[in-house]
Amino acid sequence: DSGVTQTPKHLITATGQRVTLRCSPRSGDLSVYWYQQSLDQGLQFLIQYYNGEERAKGNILERFSAQQFPDLHSELNLSSLELGDSALYFCASSASGRAFDEQFFGPGTRLTVL
Amino acid sequence: AQTVTQSQPEMSVQEAETVTLSCTYDTSESDYYLFWYKQPPSRQMILVIRQEAYKQQNATENRFSVNFQKAAKSFSLKISDSQLGDAAMYFCAYISGAGSYQLTFGKGTKLSVIP
């Protein structure tokens, strides 16, 4: 158990819908990262937050957005869902967001878009 | 942009034997870090080992060690005395020491351990 929690574990929805994935970082960690793992794209970085502020952005679609709240939990919002958005979405956290910090991964949320 | 390449989609090893997983990367930066992550069937991503680019000494964690060849941009993972629990997907990853702190992953190598 990494100490990072993600809810829900599984999510099944239809195309065009909107979903919210939630992540609680390890106690004391200030930085949260979101990654998408799919069969065709592999593991891709989406976005990073540090203490409530966006720090880095990767291959995140405009239909996707995220935020980190004052209590440091984070939410990833996916809208106008398409079949290709079906993937495993990981949240990771690290102590300070520095490059060498170990990123602790949550168990992931499996999203299936039908 | 940095890229990470794992040329072996699948590998197998006999229990108690040694196996080496390959990884190459492309970057123009001098300050960076390299990682190997393990993803067992449970899907949990687990850090196996990490290496700072400025350190010449290869990192070691128990049965896991790396062969870091900076000039060749190569970062291989050696697993000694392989155990059944080592069976997993292994991902090589790169992170820049400056600017964006995103992990860039390779496509992964699926390791099977034969009893």
Chain A CB contacts of B91 under 8 Å are: 43
Q: What is the pLDDT of residues A37-49, one digit of tens each?
A: 998 889 999 999 9
Query: How far off is chain B from A15, nearest CA to CA, in Å?
Result: 25
Q: DSSP secondary structure string, B40-54? A: -TT---EEEEEEETT
Averaged pLDDT, A47-61: 92
B70 to A72, A76, B7, B76: CA distances (angstroms): 37, 36, 18, 11
Asked whether the bond before A8 is cis by omega within 30 degrees of 0, the reply is yes
Q: How many angstroms separate the CA atoms of A20 and A22, rounded?
A: 6
Q: What is the pLDDT of residues B9-20, one digit of tens each?
A: 999 999 999 999
Q: How many angstroms separate the CA atoms of A57 and A44, rounded?
A: 11
The closest CB to that of A88, out of B43, B47, B102, belongs to B43
Provide the H-helix boundaries in chain A.
Answer: none
Q: What is the pLDDT of residues B50-88, one digit of tens each?
A: 999 998 899 999 999 999 999 999 999 999 999 999 999
Query: How far off is chain B from A1, nearest CA to CA, in Å?
Result: 9
Interface A-B: count of C-beta contacts within 8 A: 56
The predicted pLDDT at position B100 comes to 66
Chain A CB contacts of B33 under 8 Å are: 99-100
Averaged pLDDT, B32-41: 95
B80 to A24, A30, B39: CA distances (angstroms): 35, 35, 18
Query: Contact B43/A108, CB-based, under 8 Å?
Result: yes
Q: How many angstroms separate the CA atoms of B22 and B24, rounded?
A: 7
Query: Contact B97/A100, CB-based, under 8 Å?
Result: yes
CA angle B1, B111, A111 (to 5 degrees): 65
Query: Contact B44/A105, CB-based, under 8 Å?
Result: yes
Residue-level length of chain B: 115
Q: How many angstroms separate the CA atoms of A104 and A49, rounded?
A: 14
Whether pLDDT at B99 is above 70: no
Q: What is the pLDDT of residues B23-34, one digit of tens each?
A: 999 998 888 999
